[in-house]
């Protein structure tokens, strides 16, 4: 049963930011039943996370959504999990390169299918910024607990500065050691959506935003308004849900089930409108 949930282990080749080398990214490709025509789903993980995500969030999302007819791809960014690369290569720019490589992989596997992008926490921000080069391929964007301005959030949490970041509020969560390259890109402003994305890039794109009421990592009151203003300025077709009592990792089974249903309903609505 577990092997069925994991799907096929695949390797994705991603170019390094300097163009001098390649990284082999480790992924899991979960294929739906033959004959399904729905778009594929690409999952992008969080800061210091991996393709399973906290509490197996991505593993569960992919398994459930595959049963509903969607091909699903999860992978580890370079420098994370089972993928190649030292931890210092894990930077926002490299994440964007990795995301582009994963999208190419999906295009090669399913030339006729578009892609639903799903990003959790920092992965949501990377999913959004990935649209700059592949908007025509993407059918929708789902942001799960995504920070609007990561640099600002980190400065609020660590006003005296930081070298390591605890990636979850939970005491057993790992400490992510941030490289100087990561910090430099973070401070450049290139991760702020309003500065990084061209005007109207998201025009009419269906965007689903899911937040947890008790998210202590990316607090709702600090992020929700920024997202609302930005997505409205981009003329995106936005759907928003606030889950009562949910924390950053959707650690309750009921919260994960709710997220699965919300994403499934979001996709189904798009399919009905396109018929």
How high is the pLDDT of residue 172? Answer: 42
pLDDT tens digits along 128-137: 999 987 777 8
Q: What is the pTM of this model?
A: 0.92
pLDDT tens digits along 148-184: 998 888 877 766 565 555 554 443 445 567 788 888 8
CA distance 266 to 57: 18
The answer to whether the beta carbons of residues 91 and 185 sit under 8 Å apart is yes
Which of 186, 165, 185 has the alpha carbon at shortest distance from 176?
165
Q: What is the mean pLDDT of residues 186-202?
A: 83
How high is the pLDDT of residue 105? Answer: 95
CATH number at residue 22: 3.40.50.1820
Q: What is the mean pLDDT of residues 84-92?
A: 90
CA distance 77 to 25: 7
On the question of pLDDT at 1 being above 50, the answer is no
CA distance 88 to 175: 14
DSSP class of 56: G
How high is the pLDDT of residue 2? Answer: 47
Least confident of 18-22, 101-105, 197-201: 197-201
Structure-model confidence comparison of residues 163 and 240, the more confident one: 240
How high is the pLDDT of residue 173? Answer: 43
Q: What is the mean pLDDT of residues 207-223?
A: 92
pLDDT tens digits along 4-59: 568 899 999 999 988 889 999 999 999 988 877 788 999 999 988 899 998 899 99
Number of domains into which the chain is organized: 1
Domain of residue 123 covers: 2-31+40-274
Q: From edge to edge, which strands make up the β-sheet containing 115-120? A: 8-15, 22-30, 72-75, 40-44, 115-120, 138-144, 206-212, 237-243
């Amino acid at each position: 049963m577990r092997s069925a949930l994991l799907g096929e282990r695949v390797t994705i080749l991603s170019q390094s930011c300097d163009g001098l080398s390649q990284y082999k990214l480790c992924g899991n490709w979960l294929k739906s039943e033959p004959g399904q025509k729905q778009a594929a789903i690409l999952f992008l993980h969080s800061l210091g996370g991996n393709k399973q995500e906290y509490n197996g969030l991505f593993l569960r999302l992919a398994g459930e959504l595959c049963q509903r007819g969607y091909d699903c791809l999860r992978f580890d960014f370079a420098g994370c999990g089972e993928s190649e690369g030292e931890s210092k290569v894990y930077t926002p720019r490299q994440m964007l390169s990795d995301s582009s490589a994963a999208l190419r992989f999906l295009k090669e596997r399913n030339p006729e299918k578009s892609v639903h992008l799903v990003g959790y926490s920092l992965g949501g921000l990377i999913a959004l910024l990935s649209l700059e080069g592949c908007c025509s391929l993407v059918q929708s964007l789902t942001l799960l607990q995504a920070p609007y301005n990561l640099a600002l959030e980190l400065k609020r949490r660590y006003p005296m500065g930081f070298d390591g970041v605890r990636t979850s509020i939970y005491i057993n969560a790992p400490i992510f050691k941030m490289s100087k390259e990561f910090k430099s890109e973070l401070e450049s402003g290139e991760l702020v959506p309003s500065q990084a994305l061209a005007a109207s890039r998201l025009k009419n794109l269906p965007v689903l935003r899911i937040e947890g009421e008790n998210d202590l990592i990316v607090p709702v009151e600090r992020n929700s308004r920024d997202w609302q203003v930005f997505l409205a300025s981009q003329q995106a077709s936005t759907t928003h849900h606030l889950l009562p009592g949910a924390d950053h990792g959707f650690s309750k089974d009921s919260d994960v089930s709710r997220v699965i249903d919300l994403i499934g309903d979001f996709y189904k609505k798009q399919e009905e409108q396109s018929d």
